[in-house]
A and B are shown apart, each in its own frame.
Chain A
Amino acid sequence: MTVVDQMAPGARRIRGRGRAADVVSRWAFMAPAALLLLAVLAYPIFYTIQISFAELDLGTFTATEWVGWDNYLTVIEDERFWNSLEVTGIYLVLALPLQMVLGFGIAFLINAEWKGRGLIRALFIIPMVVAPVVAGGVWRMMLDPLWGLVNYWMGLVGLGPFDWLGDPKLAMITIVIIDTWRWTPFVTLIATAALLSLPRDVFEAAEIDGANWWTTFWSITLPLLVPIIAATFVVRWLGAVKMFDIALAATNGGPGRATSVINLFIYEEAFRSLKFAESAAMAVIVLVITMVLTAVFLRGTRKLEGMY
C-alpha cells in the first residue's frame, strides 16, 4: 500500500511528460502534410467562399466589399445557370448508368475464358490514356457532318446524314457517347479486378448445387458485386460531376447552350466574362449540391454493403 503511494505520483509525472512529448511529436510529424493541405486545398476553398460574398477587385484579385448574398441572388436569377444545371443533370442521368452497365457487362464478357481476351483487355485501356482534349478533337473530326467518318459509315447503311454536333438533342447524345467511350474502360478495369477477386469455390459450390449460368449470375455474381458496383458508381459520379474537358473540346457548350455543363458555364463566366464573384457563388452552390448528393450515395452504398 505505502509502496504504491510513493511510486504512483512519480510514475504519473513521467507518464505525463511522456504524453506531452508524444503529442508534440505527433503534431510535428503531421505538420508538413497539414500545411500542404491547408495551402492547396483549404485556402482555395476559403478564397472561393470569400469572394462569392464580395465584390472582387480585378486589379489586385482581392475581395474589396462585402456584398452578402448579392452574388448568389444574381446567379439564381440567371436562367443560364439553371439551364447548365439541367444540362449537367441530363448528362449524368444518361452517362452514368450507361457506363456502369457497359463497364460491368464488358468486364463480365472478357472475364470468360476465350482466346485473345488479353489483347481486347489491352485495347480497352487506350481511351483512358488519351488526353481528353485530344479525344474531343478526334471525335469532332469523326463526327463532322460533311467529311466525318461516322456519317460516311452511316451513309453506307442508308442512315443520316446526322448533324452530330449541331443538333441540340444530338449534341448531348454525342457528348454522352464520347464520355462513355472514354470512361467505360475505367469501370471495366475495376469490374474485372472485382470479378477476379470473387472466391472461386463459391462458384464451384453453386455449380454442384445445380445453378445454371443465369442463376449463378443472378443469385451469386451480381449480389457479390453489389458493394463494388456501388463504390464504382460513387467514384464515377465524383468524376462525372467535374466533366468539362470533353464538352469544351467537342462542342464548346453548343449548339446554343445545349451542352453547356455547369463547370463549363462557370469557367466561361469567370475567365471569359470576368465575373469572378458570381462564378465563385456558382461554384459554392455546386460544391454544396455535390457534397449532399455524395453523402446520400455513400449512405446508400453503406446500406447496400450491409445487405450483401
Chain B
Amino acid sequence: MGAVDIRGVRKSYGDHKVMHGVSIAIPDGEFVALVGPSGCGKSTLLRMIAGLEEITEGDILIGDRVINDVAPKDRDIAMVFQNYALYPHMSVRKNMAFALKLRRLPPAEIEKRVRSVAEILSLEPLLDRKPRALSGGQRQRVAMGRAIVRDPQVFLFDEPLSNLDAKLRVQMRSELKELHQRLGTTTVYVTHDQIEAMTLANRVVVMNAGRVEQVGAPLELYDRPDNLFVAAFIGSPPMNFLQGAVTEDRSGLTLPDGLVLAVPGGVYASAGTPVTIGIRPEHFTIASAGWPVAVSVIEPTGSETQISTRLAGRTLRVLIRGRTAVEPGETIHITAEPDNIHVFDTQTGLRIDRR
C-alpha cells in the first residue's frame, strides 16, 4: 500500500513559519504534482515526506503508518534529485546497486534487478560508465533507475527535469509518464513548471506561500480555478485580468478610470462589488462586435497566433488558432463566451460562481 496521507503539516525554522497546515491525501498509485512559485514550500513538503526535513507539526502517513519519526531509509521511498545526486565515483551499475547492497540482497538478485531496470530505461550500454561520462539526459535516467531498482512504495521527484534542455525535457516528460503507467507506483512530483504538472499528473496541488491553494485534476484547475492565484498560475500564456466594480444593472464592469465594459453574460455579483474578471487568451475570439482593442504586437508560431492588444491602457493577450490578417495599429473587436469568463472577488481573491 503506497498511499500518502499528509495531515495538517506545519513547518517552521525557529520563529519563521514556512508552512501553515497542509493536508493532502494521495491514494495508492496516483501521480501527484506539487506546483507553485519558488519558496512556496513544495520542495520542503517533499523533503518532509522523504525524511530529510523535520515535521514541526502534523502527521505524514505512508500506507497506514505514521512516518514522522521513521528514518528515511525505513520509509520505503525513493527520491530523484534535481541535480541527480549520483555517486560520482561509482559506475552506473554501482549507483543503482548501492541501496540494494546496503539491504544485503544476494548479488545475483541485485544483478538481476539492475539489469531489468537498465533494460526499461535503455541504460544497458552505460552500466560501466561513471556519471561524468554521461550526458544530462543519461544522468537523469540513471537517477531514475536508482529509484526504480529499489521498488519502493512511493517515488519522490524534486524538479527532476529542470536541468535539461527544452527538447530533452519534453522527451523525458513523456518517458516519465509512460514509466508511471507501467509501474503504477505512487508518485509525488515537485515542479515549478505548470505545463509539466498538467501533462504528467493525475492530480495537481497548487501551493503558494506555504499553503495549498487548490487540489484538482489538471483540467479542473484550468476550467474552474478556485481563486486568483490559481487562475494566474495555471495556463500559458497566462489569463487576462480586468479589475472593476459591478455596474448597477450587473451587465458589466466599471473600470477604475470610469470606462464601462459590457461583460458577455453579465457579472453575477451584487452591484458595486469590486471584482476581477479573468479571461484566458485562447478564449477570446475576434468578432464584429465586442470590446474595441488596439493591436500592438502580433506573434505567430505557425499553429497559433498571439496578439497583444491594448484596452484603455491595459494589455490584453489574445490567442487564436491559425493565422490572421490583422496588422499592428488596427482596432479589432474581441469577445468571449459567458462560460469562459471567470469572476473573482477582488478583496478575497475567491471565485464567485454563477448562481
Binding site for B on A (CB under 8 A): 199, 201-202, 204-211, 215, 219-220, 223-224, 226, 307-308
Contacts and interface: CB of A to CB of B under 8 A. Distances in A.
Contacts of B259: none
B81 A205 contact: yes
B79 interface: yes
A305 to B, nearest CB: 10
B166 interface: no
Contact of A211 (B86, B102, B146): B102
B85 A204 contact: yes
Nearest to A201: B85
B99 interface: yes
Contact of A209 (B52, B73, B82, B83): B73
Contacts of A226: 89
A219 B103 CA distance: 15
Interface in B122-171: 146, 150
7 contacts: A204-B79, A207-B52, A208-B51, A210-B102, A220-B87, A224-B88, A308-B88
B23 to A, nearest CB: 24
Minimum-distance CB pairs A-B, first 8: A210-B73, A201-B85, A209-B99, A205-B85, A223-B89, A308-B89, A210-B102, A201-B81
Contacts of B73: 207-211
Interface string B53-82: 000000000000000000011000111011
A203 to B, nearest CB: 8
A56 B63 CA distance: 88
Contacts of B83: 199, 201
Given A202-B85, A220-B87, A224-B88, A208 B78 contact: yes
B291 interface: no
Interface residues of B, number: 22
A207 B87 contact: no
Contacts of B92: none
B92 to A, nearest CB: 14
Contacts of B103: 210
Given A201-B81, A205-B81, A223-B89, A210 B52 contact: no
B35 to A, nearest CB: 21
Tell me the dominant secondary structure on chain B's binding face: loop
Contact of A208 (B72, B82, B87, B89): B72
A200 to B, nearest CB: 9
A223 B78 CA distance: 23
Nearest to A307: B89
A22 B341 CA distance: 68
B73 to A, nearest CB: 4
Contacts of A202: 85-88
A208 B87 CA distance: 13
A204 B72 CA distance: 9
Nearest to B103: A210
Nearest to B156: A208
Contacts of A223: 89
A204 to B, nearest CB: 5
Interface string B21-54: 0000000000000000000000000000011100
A278 to B, nearest CB: 49
Contact of B102 (A209, A307, A308): A209
A173 B61 CA distance: 60
A243 B97 CA distance: 47
Contact of A215 (B51, B86, B102): B102
A75 B246 CA distance: 105
Given A199-B83, A215-B102, A208 B77 contact: yes
A205 B102 contact: no
B229 interface: no
B158 to A, nearest CB: 9
B98 interface: yes
Interface in B266-282: none
B99 A210 contact: yes
A206 B87 CA distance: 9
Contacts of A207: 51-52, 72-73
Contacts of A208: 50-52, 72-73, 77-79, 99
A243 to B, nearest CB: 33
Contacts of B99: 208-210
A50 to B, nearest CB: 48
A129 B73 CA distance: 45
B98 A209 contact: yes
B112 to A, nearest CB: 19
B348 to A, nearest CB: 39
B223 to A, nearest CB: 37
Interface in B85-118: 85-89, 98-99, 102-103
A153 B87 CA distance: 48
B72 to A, nearest CB: 5
Nearest to B98: A209
A308 B132 CA distance: 10
Contacts of A204: 50, 52, 79, 81, 85
A249 B30 CA distance: 74
A234 B88 CA distance: 23
A307 B89 CA distance: 7
Nearest to B78: A208
A215 B104 CA distance: 13
A231 to B, nearest CB: 16
A215 B103 CA distance: 12
B114 to A, nearest CB: 14
Contacts of A307: 89
A199 B131 CA distance: 14
Contacts of B77: 208
Contacts of B72: 207-208
A209 B73 CA distance: 6
B171 to A, nearest CB: 24
A211 B89 CA distance: 16
Contacts of B98: 206, 209, 211, 219
